[in-house]
Structure 1
């Protein structure tokens, strides 16, 4: 049995000056080496080969179909469109792989992939025929067919078949999960609809409300309404002196009396004199 050496660590006591602590100690141990997984190695190599073949098929079909299309359209548009021919069956094959455990869902991309392959092969053959070499066209179309077949067989080797009961159990679990996912946008839609209905009802109640009912006298007194007195506006001493000054009064005594009446309380002579000096400076 083949073995290999690995380094591991363990805790060991280490004492200095009578004080012991646990420290890490490295040691080597030999462990058996599992046998080589040849199936995995072969599958890895198969994926590499399939990738190379697929790239070659896409390149050939793009060049061939692009040369066919550029006779009537610009070269950039022709080769861009040509690249989609093989990419179509590659995309369908990817969808088939994603639905590998759902035969009913995988059937549609499988059929679409083969149809896309046939269309690409016909386009490559047509280019060879128009170029005067039908054999090259047939060989080129065979490249795409071989790449598609190789990828199809490669993916099948990674797919595990399920018996009837297991498949039914998987379908039931998938249906429950997909149902929960589908209910998320449905609940959001219902919540938005309920919000709109509630807003509409609120708006209608506001519009239908009558601010002046017919059984209430429009301008009559209401026993439940308590009359409110208008609050008295308080004028500051400075504003009262300014108003008296703007009214043309220049006698300090007259200004003090008029301003005190407007202010609501007596204003001292010193205060009046200070504000009058400021008004004279401003004038």
Structure 2
């Protein structure tokens, strides 16, 4: 077996200090993977066939449409015929682990391929060479068939229980993604409510030296006071939340930031963030 030279890290000590240093080591080379080479070759052939199919169908359908419209528009629309079933085939490959989801792009791809083949056949008929139209249409069919064989070969076989397990995992991940915008919407709404309550609470405190109602102990919590988690957000985030809630006054923003962060912020810092937000909004 033919050896090959590779580098490995080994410990080397000099003057009592050890470091990992690279050395060259001859190791036996693995045997050639002919299956992988053949699969790469077939994939390359399929890519060449697909490219030829796109060129042929675009030229054929573009010439057909060019009889009624300008060439740029005709050939631009002609390339759509093949790109449609190619895109559907790609989506089918992405959904290869879920047979139910792969069924729709498979059917859509077959319909798009049939439309492209009919258009190529129509070009042959109007050109007076129906044989050329039939053969040209078969080029797209062969390209689609070859790629279907290659992709099906690379799709691992899965039993129904494994497919159900994968669908469950994807469902959980999808639920997490779906909740992200919901959480953002709830946070924006809660921030607006908090800012509104804060503004109303500050206004009510100005005319009274004792905000507690008669009969309430000074140690009892007020119903209007919001329970916040100090230091849950920083000053910049708190200013952004206040801005999204409709707060435009710097003093009101300072009061809100102090309440959210649990400490008095620098008025200059809050004013600077507010100016930045005004510039962006303006």
Same fold, TM-score > 0.5, yes or no: yes
Deviations 1:180-213 (A, max 9, x none): 011101222233344456667789x69xx9xxxx
Q: State how many pairs are aligned.
A: 203
What value does the CA root-mean-square deviation take over the aligned residues? 3.0
Asked if 1:129 is matched to 2:125, the reply is yes
Q: 1:13 to 1:184 in 2, by over 3 A?
A: closer
Deviations 1:105-134 (A, max 9, x none): 111111100000000000000000000011
Aligned to 2:107: 111
Which residue of 118, 134, 138 corresponds with 2:134? 138
Deviations 1:121-180 (A, max 9, x none): 000000000000110000000000000010111111111011111111111111111110
Q: 1:188 to 1:60 in 2, by over 3 A?
A: same
Aligned to 1:267: none
How far residue 35 of structure 1 moved from its aligned partner, in angstroms, is 1.9
Q: Give me the whole-angstrom Cα distance separating, in 1, the residues matched to 2:177 and 2:24.
A: 52
How far residue 32 of structure 1 moved from its aligned partner, in angstroms, is 2.4
Contact 2:4 2:29 in 1 (8 A): no
Q: Give me the whole-angstrom Cα distance separating, in 1, the residues matched to 2:13 and 2:130.
A: 83
Q: Give me the whole-angstrom Cα distance separating, in 1, the residues matched to 2:194 and 2:31.
A: 69
Q: Give me the whole-angstrom Cα distance separating, in 1, the residues matched to 2:46 and 2:123.
A: 25
Aligned to 1:53: 49
Asked if 1:91 is matched to 2:87, the reply is yes
Asked if 1:33 is matched to 2:29, the reply is yes
Q: Secondary structure at the match of 1:6?
A: strand
Q: Give me the whole-angstrom Cα distance separating, in 2, the residues matched to 1:115 and 1:7.
A: 52
TM-score of the superposed pair, with normalisation by structure 2: 0.64
Consecutive unaligned residues of structure 1, counting only runs of 5 or more, are: 210-283
Which residue of 174, 179, 185 corresponds with 2:175? 179
Aligned to 1:234: none
Consecutive unaligned residues of structure 2, counting only runs of 5 or more, are: 205-282
Q: Give me the whole-angstrom Cα distance separating, in 2, the residues matched to 1:87 and 1:25.
A: 50
Q: How does 1:1-283 map to 2 (within 5 A)?
A: 2-8=1-7, 10-11=10-11, 26=23, 28-29=25-26, 31-195=27-191
Structure showing greater Rg:
1
Q: Which piece of structure 1 moves more, 135-144 or 100-109? A: 100-109
